[in-house]
Amino acid sequence: MSEEEHKHEGCCNHDHGDGQGHHHHHHHEPVVVDPTIEAELKHLVGKISKNFSGMIEFLQFKEIMSVAYKYIFANLGERKQKMVENRRQYLKDGNDLLYAEVVKNYVISEENLMSDIMSQVCQVLTIDEYFLQHTTQFYMTNPATSMEIMPIVTGMQNSGDIPTIEHEKAKEIFYYQEEIKKVQIMELMKKQGMDDPNDDEEMMTRMMVAQYKLSDDIFLKYGYEEEAIQKAFTLLMQDPEIQAYTLKAQQMMYGGGAGPQLQE
């Protein structure tokens, strides 16, 4: 999963098993609402309709998400830029500790910001946060609607200016990434063996750090940003060679020990 998708996979359902998620404290106390967010959602106030599953109707949901993420990205822009610069510097310096620290702090501030904006949205529309979270899960787990939501939550809908990577080059980067991933997975497994089994947080952080490192490594080697790589890899999935490779990799992962020998 790419860095962006990973971050947004659970964007509105930070449910940590207590059924509360991160924002149980927001439910009763009013949050300060940004007047521009209020203005953009005004026409939906009191007009939220539900679909047959009792979720927010899809077109309305899409509109709500577009507004929310417009503000999330506007706010994250500078923070993200700063984080990227710091990360790449620390990667060059080989400073793993500070690298992980930068990622951790950014992820926390991103979660807080998202939670805050979603609270504002819910307050303006006078809907319950769980209701919005459940609706999000509902549409994200359906492939058809998820495809329409992904560009919104990953900021890809304004992706006109993202450079296109030539096909053969994209393939080279893809295989390079696969090699690095293999090494990373081995390292993660090793570290997990030494972990406190109850500390999921630690493992999650490590996986995030690994994903960011991969993206930085590719940038330092090839000069392409995450967005360009994502765009290129999406197109690559239509290449029969890459399709075959991906299928084989999945079989090896899920097919148990006998996977690779079958080709001999």
Q: Read out DSSP for 210-251?
A: HHHHHHHHHHHHH---HHHHHHHHHHHTTSHHHHHHHHHHHH
Would 229 be classed as within a structural domain?
yes
Same structural domain for residues 153 and 69? yes
Residue 264: inside a domain: no
Q: CA-to-CA distance for 250 and 24, rounded, in angstroms?
A: 38
* Residue 10 and residue 132 share a domain: yes
Quick check: is 57 in a domain?
yes
Among 136, 158, 180, the domain-final residue is 158
Q: Which of 6-15, 93-102, 174-183 has the lowest mean pLDDT?
A: 6-15
Is 60 part of a structural domain of the chain?
yes
Residue ending a domain, choose from 132, 158, 184: 158
For the segment 231-246, the average pLDDT, to the nearest whole number, is: 89
**Domain enclosing residue 187, as ranges:** 167-254
Question: Do 60 and 138 belong to one domain?
Answer: yes
Shared domain for 8 and 139, answered yes or no, is yes
Asked if the model's pLDDT at residue 67 lies above 70, the reply is: yes
Q: Residues 131-140: what's their mean pLDDT? A: 95
- Of residues 13 and 117, more confidence is placed in 117
In this predicted structure, which of 46-60, 107-121, 248-262 has the lowest mean pLDDT? 248-262
Mean pLDDT of all residues in 119-141: 95
Last residue of a domain, one of 158, 182, 207: 158
Shared domain for 233 and 176, answered yes or no, is yes
The C-alpha atoms of residue 132 and residue 134 are separated, in whole angstroms, by: 6
* Same-domain pairing of 211 and 127: no
Same domain, 139 and 191: no
Whether 263 is covered by a domain: the verdict is no
**Which pLDDT score, from 0 to 100, does residue 240 have?**
92
**Gap between the Cα atoms of 196 and 39, Å rounded:** 48
Taking the model in full, what pTM does it have? 0.68
Q: Number of folded domains in the chain?
A: 2
In a domain, 260, yes or no: no
Do residues 118 and 180 both lie within one domain? no
List residues bridging with 50 in a β-sheet.
56
Are 144 and 181 within one domain?
no
Contact 88, 223 (CB under 8 A): no
| 63 domain residue, yes or no | yes
259 lies in some domain? no
Residue 9 has pLDDT above 50, yes or no: no
**Residues 252 and 260: beta-carbon distance below 8 Å:** yes
- Per-residue pLDDT band for 41 (boundaries 50, 70, 90) equals very high
pLDDT tens digits for range 73-116: 989 888 889 999 999 999 999 999 999 999 999 989 999 999 99
Q: Does 131 share its domain with 54? A: yes
